[in-house]
Amino acid sequence: MKLLDISNLSVKFSGKRTVHAINNVSLSMEQGETLALLGESGSGKSVTLKALLGLLPPKRTQIDGQVHVNGTDVLGLKGKALQKYRGGEVSMVFQEPALALDPVYTVGHQIAESVMRHKGIDKANAMATALDMLDRVRIPSANRRLHNYPHELSGGMRQRVMIALALACKPKLLLADEPTTALDATVQIQILLLLRELQKEFGMGVIFVTHDIGVAVEISERVAVMYAGQIAEEGTTREIIRDPRHPYTQGLLAANLHDVARGARLNAIPGAPPALESKPDSCAFAPRCPVAMPECRAALPPVFEPGPRRRVACLRANEPIAAE
Amino acid sequence: MSVTDYTPTIDTGGPAQPLLTVNHLRKYFPVRGGILGRTQAQVQAVDGVSFAVAKGETLGIVGESGCGKSTTAKLLIGLTEKDAGEIIFDGHALGERLSLKDLRRSVQMVFQDSYATLNPRMTILASVAFGARVQGLEDPEGLARKMMDRVGLDPNRFAHRYPHELSGGQRQRVNIARALAMSPRLVVLDEAVSALDKSVEAQVLNLLSDLRAEFGLTYIFISHDLNVVRYISDRILVMYLGEVVEIAPVDSIWQEQAHPYTRSLFSAMPSMDPDNRTQTPPLAGDPPNPIDPPKGCRFHTRCRFASDVCKAKTPSLAGLARNQAHQVACHLYDSTSGHPQAGQGIPA
Amino acid sequence: MALSETPVEIAAEPAPVASPQGYWSGVGARLLRDPLTMICLGVVALLILSAVFAPWLGLADPYKGSMIARLKPIGTEGHILGTDEQGRDMLARLIYGGRLTLFIGLTPVVLAFFIGGALGVVAGYVGGFVNTIIMRTVDVFFAFPSVLLAIAISGALGAGIVNSLVSLTIVFIPPITRVAEAVTSGVRALDYIDAARATGANALTVIRVHVIGNVLSPIFVYATSLTSVCMILAAGLSFLGIGVRPPEPEWGLMLNTLRSAIYVNPWLSALPGVMIFITSLCLNLLSDGLRSAMNVRD
């Protein structure tokens, strides 16, 4: 059974302004895979995560399509079943652990609470699990830290606690929403390596949302590049880095400045992403694309599949090298 | 904007004199507590920082949160009052032959958060013209329009808009225009591109390079992103817990980081190579709290090469044997320091 | 020099949505689209206009009583809203009463808005020692309930309109100062204040150009919400006999004198209270409407 199967998911927010945040996204994951959702602000990567957790506000949101996690129809879940699913089957690590942890409870209490609720075990056992989890996220002197409040911990430590909390109920799928963006470089790499180890240890699937292509390389086996609420390109990390086919992916790689000559003029992608007030009916990247053709502005681009589980939504993807 | 509209203050010392010299800059922030609000501890935000920036040069400052890089920036233009130290602009010391207002005519700053730095109730034109008006320059609005045009914002379209109607990239262009409308000679860019999306960041970096060449600007470029700093800077200054640990030309430091902290910072960069991913983190734990920094070398608590002398004695900046322009504050490089591996540098 | 490059990069960015217009015309446009606020504005305007132009409205003399026409019910021929305990025309007294009531109800808030606003902005912007002095003094006044404080000051100064104004102004300075201080120190911490200081502008310029504009609307909205409280307090002072003195028509005072008739003619006795209720309700809703209309974003 597939761990994750999203088919034709569309999310539209209506309110003062209409935003077509996600447009016909299909995505699948096998058990135990690590997938990076790469994109800039407004690309729909965080909304995808929220849809997976059933966190979108039902009043202003119109959701179409199917989302299955381990065979469960997520969009159909309600009440108790939804609560059981969140935190049990799927859990999430947020960008700001300082905001996601409850300041009035000790970290041990918070982890134990979650375990008790989902596993129905008693307090003593739950605390033992909490201690074990703090050990597993490599928190030194975990016994003492169990009784600390979140504000007594450093940023990196808090993010470890957040991960312990998310993994306490052994989820099949871990969602990570830019969990290292707020951290310093030397702490970020520690958390990335920790997540990589824990993923192997627990055998879970991970969806890692990030805007930083370097982070995606460190954490994931596969990458899906999102733009304007659509998937522009998908493939293994190696394929995306070594052989990017979509002009947007190529632009993002160039903008990383990893191997740009000092002072040389940067090949910047012009303009800014679209506001998505209407559903894209042609290639959403065409207005910024250096190699766009009239056809790109006429209709949605076809999806090419150069290899197994590899796809590129670009008219010129099958040309040998699309970039100039 | 043509070069004739750009009216910086007159170069007094000639090209050999540094545009900005900072000597032993210090700033401690009191941590108050208790009912009486007495000072209970001090955050040693910036402690004994010295450096010089040559005319036309771009100095990059890197370091992690709490290292004092943003405080340094604010001290440079007097937004935060310094406790001690000297700021000398083109030969004139601040507070002696140079008033704060005059300094601010020549030194401008661009901040990280493009939205928070613009008054939400003021039009773009009013924001850009404000500084020029304060400094008594002629025709501030005309100047503002020209500068907006120069940074790529059509004044006819954008002059009367409000900040919330602009994208992040456009707002950061406004901030740059505002800084440049006063014809400064030195621009302090404090994480100026960090909040932007990668694709927009490249556009703004291109703009900054163009402006630097066109107006002969000197930059102090503060960032946590080493790739960006390498791209734009001539020299890099590395800070750790309020102190300068290393300062060197970009090529030299990129080739070999002398200080153990700098080396860790560089190894923490993502590898960008899916076949050769980072396997072990270069450092464990978070940076220590600047409220009560370690004695001696402040990095000794996390340093693999620390010995007793590092806990006792604070190392001072000195040039490397292979390149005097490459300075490092580490006992490993000082043959008289008393460190077991003194004078040998980081073991291979 | 790639001068041509930047405009090209910009060209593809989406055009901003709003049309160029001034801040206040934007506020006005948003107010016009809010029917409830417009109704309240209409009611308040009607009350103020009728109070101002009372002598020209052809009303009965509000001071002239009649021993034989006392406590006539609502709907009496010649006295649409009846007569009070001294036989004076209620309609005339209610409308003439609006003059004093609104004057005493609004003036202290206006005065307190300027005084408290200035104190709060200075305390919030300068901070440190100045802040401590201003805010601790304000705290002393806060220790007393506002009703008690107003009564105490009025009692000490003696009855009369001017003394009521003074005491109510003193009562409303502390809360406005506190709100102004909180809003100002919030704004003071924002980056655009730093950016403005970095241009070399002095504190006065920064306050005038950057602080006032951004703190004005929250303070103004808060002050508007106080007008209803102030009106009720002013009426309360008159009711207790330490505000306006008889035979002046004033809603609070009328409520007091008609109290004895509550069993004889309850509807009539309630009329001044109804006026106070309608006015304060409208002022409150008006301040809510202003709050949302003054919000720049969205």
pLDDT in tens, A229-280: 999 999 999 999 999 999 999 988 888 887 788 878 888 888 888 888 888 8
Average pLDDT over residues C13-37: 67
Token couple for C111: 């005065």
Q: Which of residues 186-205 of B touch C (CB under 8 A)?
A: 203
Is B119 close to C198, i.e. CB distance below 8 A? Answer: no
Rounded distance, CA A159 to CA A178, Å?
11
Give Rg (Cα) of chain A.
21
Q: Which of A184, A185, A217 minimises the CB distance to B272?
A: A217
Domain ranges of chain A: 4-89+171-313, 94-170
- Phi first, then psi: what are they for A276, rounded to 5°? 60, 40
Q: Kindly report the three-state secondary structure assignment for every residue of chain B.
A: CCHHHCCCCCCCCCCCCCCEEEEEEEEEEEEEECCCCEEEEEEEEEEEEEEEECCCCEEEEECCCCCCHHHHHHHHCCCCCCCEEEEEECCEEECCCECHHHHHHHEEEECCCCCCCCCCCCCHHHHHHHHHHHCCCCCHHHHHHHHHHHCCCCHHHHCCCCHHHCCHHHHHHHHHHHHHCCCCCEEEEECCCCCCCHHHHHHHHHHHHHHHHHHCCEEEEECCCHHHHHHHCCEEEEEECCEEEEEEEHHHHHHCCCCHHHHHHHHCCCCCCCCCCCCCCCCCCCCCCCCCCCCCCCCCCCCCCCCHHHHHCCCCCEECCCCCCCEECCHHHCCCCCCCCCCCCCCC
Is A254 close to B231, i.e. CB distance below 8 A? Answer: no
C126 to chain B, minimum CA–CA distance in Å?
14
The size of the A-C interface in CB pairs under 8 A is 20
Find the residue in A nearest to C5 (Cα). A270
Q: Is the pLDDT of residue C19 over 60?
A: no
Could you give the C-alpha distances from C190 to C125, C196, C201, in angstroms and in order? 11, 10, 16
At C297 the pLDDT is: 55
Could you give the C-alpha distances from B246 to B221, B252, B256, B328, in angstroms and in order? 16, 11, 12, 4
**B contacts of C18 (beta carbons < 8 Å):** 161-162, 165
Is A272 close to C13, i.e. CB distance below 8 A? Answer: yes
> Which of residues A16 and A296 earns the better pLDDT score?
A296
Token couple for A312: 């590129």
Token couple for A130: 């909490």
Is B285 close to A154, i.e. CB distance below 8 A? Answer: yes
User: In sequence order, what DSSP letters do the residues of A190-208 get, joined into one string?
Assistant: HHHHHHHHHHHHHT-EEEE
C103 to chain B, minimum CA–CA distance in Å?
33
At A321 the pLDDT is: 53
B269 to chain A, minimum CA–CA distance in Å?
7
> Is the CB of residue B175 less than 8 Å from the CB of residue B163?
no
Provide the terminal-to-terminal Cα distance of chain B, rounded to the nearest Å. 52
Largest CA distance in chain B: 67
Domains of chain B plus CATH, in order, are: 18-233 (3.40.50.300), 239-333 (no CATH)
Residue A4's DSSP bridge partners are A29, A69
Q: Which of A185, A255, A258 minimises the CB distance to B272?
A: A258
> Which of residues A17 and A200 earns the better pLDDT score?
A200
Is C12 close to A16, i.e. CB distance below 8 A? Answer: no
ipTM for the predicted complex comes to 0.86
Q: Is residue C47 part of a domain?
A: yes
**A contacts of B197 (beta carbons < 8 Å):** 40-41, 211, 272-273
Token couple for B142: 């005309």
Using the Cβ of B158 and the Cβ atoms of chain C, whether some distance falls under 8 Å is answered with yes
Residue A66's DSSP bridge partners are A7
Average pLDDT over residues C156-166: 84
Using the Cβ of B287 and the Cβ atoms of chain A, whether some distance falls under 8 Å is answered with yes
- b or e along B227-265 (b: 16 or more beta carbons within 10 Å of the residue's beta carbon)? bbbbbbbbbbbbbbbbbbbbbbebebbeebbbbbbbbbb
Average pLDDT over residues C158-179: 89
Pairing of the two strands B58-62 and B235-240: parallel
> Is the CB of residue C92 less than 8 Å from the CB of residue C247?
no
Find the residue in A nearest to C10 (Cα). A271
- CA torsion, points B112, B118, B123, B126, in degrees to nearest 10? -100
pLDDT tier, C10 (very low <50, low <70, confident <90, very high otherwise): very low
Q: Which of C190, C199, C297 minimises the CB distance to B116?
A: C190
Q: Is residue C264 part of a domain?
A: yes
At A323 the pLDDT is: 44
> Is the CB of residue C59 less than 8 Å from the CB of residue C92?
yes
| Identity of the amino acid at B38 | R
Largest CA distance in chain C: 98
Q: How many CB atoms lie within 10 A of CB A161?
A: 27
Long-range contacts of A265-268 (CB under 8 A, 24+ apart): A265/B206, A265/B209, A265/C2, A266/B202, A266/B203, A266/B205, A266/B206, A266/B231, A267/B202, A268/B199, A268/B202, A268/B203, A268/B205, A268/B206, A268/C9
A146 to chain B, minimum CA–CA distance in Å?
17
Asked: is A4-89+171-313 a CATH 3.40.47.10 domain? The reply is no
Q: Is residue C13 part of a domain?
A: no
At how many degrees (to 10) do helices A155-167 and A107-119 cross? 10
- pLDDT tens column, C218-277: 898 888 878 878 877 887 887 787 877 777 888 878 877 887 777 877 777 788 888 888
**B contacts of C213 (beta carbons < 8 Å):** 119, 121-122
Q: Mean pLDDT score of chain A, rounded to an integer? A: 88
Handedness of CA C164, C169, C172, C173 (dihedral sign): negative
Rounded distance, CA A61 to CA A12, Å?
6
Instruction: Specify the CATH number for the domain of residue C130.
Output: 1.10.3720.10
> Is the CB of residue C189 less than 8 Å from the CB of residue B113?
no
Picking from A46, A151, A189, A238 by the largest number of B CB atoms within 10 A of its own CB, the best residue to mutate is A189
Question: Does residue C247 have a cis bond before it (omega within 30 degrees)?
Answer: yes
Average pLDDT over residues A315-324: 64
At C289 the pLDDT is: 85
Q: Is residue C110 part of a domain?
A: yes
C27 to chain A, minimum CA–CA distance in Å?
17
pLDDT tier, C18 (very low <50, low <70, confident <90, very high otherwise): very low
- Phi first, then psi: what are they for B233, rounded to 5°? -95, 160
Could you give the C-alpha distances from B42 to B32, B69, B240, in angstroms and in order? 9, 17, 17
Subunit partners of chain A (3 or more CB pairs within 8 A) = B, C
pLDDT tier, C296 (very low <50, low <70, confident <90, very high otherwise): low
> Is the CB of residue A62 less than 8 Å from the CB of residue A124?
no
Using the Cβ of B285 and the Cβ atoms of chain A, whether some distance falls under 8 Å is answered with yes
| Identity of the amino acid at A315 | L
3-state secondary structure of C290: helix
**Residue in this structure with the two tokens 């928190």, named with its chain if needed:** A139
**A contacts of C2 (beta carbons < 8 Å):** 265
Find the residue in A nearest to B66 (Cα). A184
Is C23 close to B121, i.e. CB distance below 8 A? Answer: yes
Is C10 close to B119, i.e. CB distance below 8 A? Answer: no
User: In sequence order, what DSSP letters do the residues of C66-85 get, joined into one string?
Assistant: -GGGTTPPTTBTTBTT-B-T
Q: Which of residues 103-122 of B touch C (CB under 8 A)?
A: 104-105, 108-109, 111, 113, 116-122
Rounded distance, CA B304 to CA B308, Å?
12
Q: Which of A16, A271, A287 minimises the CB distance to C298?
A: A16
Nearest to B45, CA basis, from B21, B23, B62, B69: B69
Q: Is residue C51 part of a domain?
A: yes
Using beta carbons and an 8 Å cutoff, which residues of C are at the interface with A? 2, 8-14, 298
Rounded distance, CA A54 to CA A50, Å?
6
3-state secondary structure of A33: coil
Is A270 close to C298, i.e. CB distance below 8 A? Answer: no
At C1 the pLDDT is: 35
Average pLDDT over residues C41-57: 87
Q: Is residue C79 part of a domain?
A: no
- Domain extent, residue C175, equals 33-57+84-293
| Identity of the amino acid at C90 | M
Give Rg (Cα) of chain B.
21
At B126 the pLDDT is: 92
- CA torsion, points B323, B328, B332, B334, in degrees to nearest 10? 70
**A contacts of B172 (beta carbons < 8 Å):** none
- pLDDT tens column, A93-116: 988 877 888 888 999 999 998 888
Number of domains observed in the structure of chain C:
1
Is C200 close to B135, i.e. CB distance below 8 A? Answer: yes
Find the residue in A nearest to B265 (Cα). A186
Q: What's the pTM?
A: 0.83
> Is the CB of residue A213 less than 8 Å from the CB of residue A256?
yes
Q: Is residue C25 part of a domain?
A: no
Per-residue pLDDT in tens (0 to 9) along chain B, 348 residues: 555 678 888 888 788 899 999 999 999 998 877 666 677 788 889 999 999 999 999 999 999 888 899 999 999 988 888 999 999 999 899 988 888 888 988 999 999 888 889 998 888 999 999 988 888 888 889 999 999 999 999 999 999 888 888 888 899 999 999 999 989 999 999 999 988 888 889 999 999 999 999 999 999 999 989 999 999 999 999 999 999 999 999 999 999 999 999 999 999 988 888 888 888 888 888 888 888 888 999 999 999 899 999 999 999 999 998 899 999 999 999 888 888 888 888 876
* Total residue length of chain A: 324
| Identity of the amino acid at B95 | G
At C22 the pLDDT is: 63
At C12 the pLDDT is: 37
